[in-house]
Copies of this chain bind each other. A is one copy, B any other.
């Protein structure tokens, strides 16, 4: 079934009716009001088909649950999703999810062949659904050969953030040290992998826990230079001695923070004069604490990093970074990270489907990636 979109454009008045169009039934997680995702999200079933303005019918293969998706549903994220009735809901709603990997199932434009895979070109498409009609401008076609489904679904937000955190603030040379908290977060792990690829040395802070040695081993395995718990970090004299020993008294000029709260204060002790401390997350959901003395006497600078703004300011950078990441994945130096693959099977009943999804939302231990099949 091949459609010519130009014929379509000439026949807008009678669109659909003059053609045999394949409709598919889709399922989406939607919300109509901001709030706790567990409360406000509901399952919605809809029909979808390619149209002249959105001539590509795509099936979602995998979409991650990112912390910013949750913040967006809560209404505490600066970029709001648009509410509309495109999915034929009674009241305007939005589909959350900002990244994911899709496969073309149907296209009115013969340039886009069924079976071809793509990732989202922009944020806010709404990726927590099974099918959507898309425009060429919604999709980013990359050569995904050698890239796993999970890697393709999570190719932008975390890897690009990790990449920029190490590249954009200070010029680290081979052998230079940096320190990061939340080192076992997905971004943290990607930072570790990139630092190993680039010959940088990392001091990685994790929360103490019963199975801490297992986690330490895992982080060493993906490339961490040193892993210390928050409890070990609090032993200031010992840590300063260790860091002097590790760095050959060169110290640490870059700190990365995704936790906030007191963790920043603890981390800041180990950043040397004129160093920079970058905040890119706030997993503790607390304001960050910072010693005035470190700012005044050590001249430490605090900045934030937000990938969305960076890509908006330097759009040409996105592909450049993605191509590097893909190269690292292909040559085996940037591994797929451990995550929970949440199978949302189309044969599940609505209630079972929703239950499976809600369990994923509740899981704060591991990265959750929705797999639609």
Find out whether the CB atom of A299 lies under 8 angstroms from the CB atom of B304.
yes
Partner of A296, one of B294, B297, B304: B304
Find out whether the CB atom of A296 lies under 8 angstroms from the CB atom of B306.
yes
Residue of B nearest to A307 (CB): B296
Find out whether the CB atom of A301 lies under 8 angstroms from the CB atom of B303.
yes
Would you call A288 an interface residue if the criterion is a C-beta within 8 Å of the partner chain's C-beta atoms?
yes
Find out whether the CB atom of B290 lies under 8 angstroms from the CB atom of A295.
no
Find out whether the CB atom of B309 lies under 8 angstroms from the CB atom of A304.
no
User: Within 8 Å CB of A279, what residues of B?
Assistant: 292, 295-296
**How far is the CB of A124 from the nearest CB of chain B, in Å?**
15
Would you call A300 an interface residue if the criterion is a C-beta within 8 Å of the partner chain's C-beta atoms?
yes
User: Within 8 Å CB of A289, what residues of B?
Assistant: 287-289
**How far is the CB of A141 from the nearest CB of chain B, in Å?**
30
Find out whether the CB atom of A303 lies under 8 angstroms from the CB atom of B309.
no
Find out whether the CB atom of B292 lies under 8 angstroms from the CB atom of A297.
no
**In the complex, how many residues of chain A place their beta carbon closer than 8 angstroms to a beta carbon of chain B?**
28
User: Within 8 Å CB of A297, what residues of B?
Assistant: 78, 304, 306, 309
Find out whether the CB atom of A300 lies under 8 angstroms from the CB atom of B304.
yes
Find out whether the CB atom of B292 lies under 8 angstroms from the CB atom of A287.
yes
Find out whether the CB atom of B287 lies under 8 angstroms from the CB atom of A291.
yes
User: Within 8 Å CB of A342, what residues of B?
Assistant: none
**How far is the CB of A257 from the nearest CB of chain B, in Å?**
8
Could you mark each residue 268-289 of chain A with 1 if its beta carbon is under 8 Å from any beta carbon of chain B, else 0?
0000000000011110000111
Quick one: which of A300, A305, A309 has the most chain B CB within 10 A? A309
Find out whether the CB atom of B302 lies under 8 angstroms from the CB atom of A290.
yes
Residue of B nearest to A79 (CB): B297
Given contact pairs A78-B297, A299-B303, A304-B299, A265 touches B287 in the complex (Cβ within 8 A): yes
Of the A-B pairs whose beta carbons lie under 8 Å apart in the complex, a sample of 14, sorted by A's number, is A279-B296, A280-B296, A281-B296, A282-B293, A282-B296, A287-B289, A288-B290, A289-B289, A292-B304, A295-B302, A295-B304, A299-B306, A299-B309, A300-B304
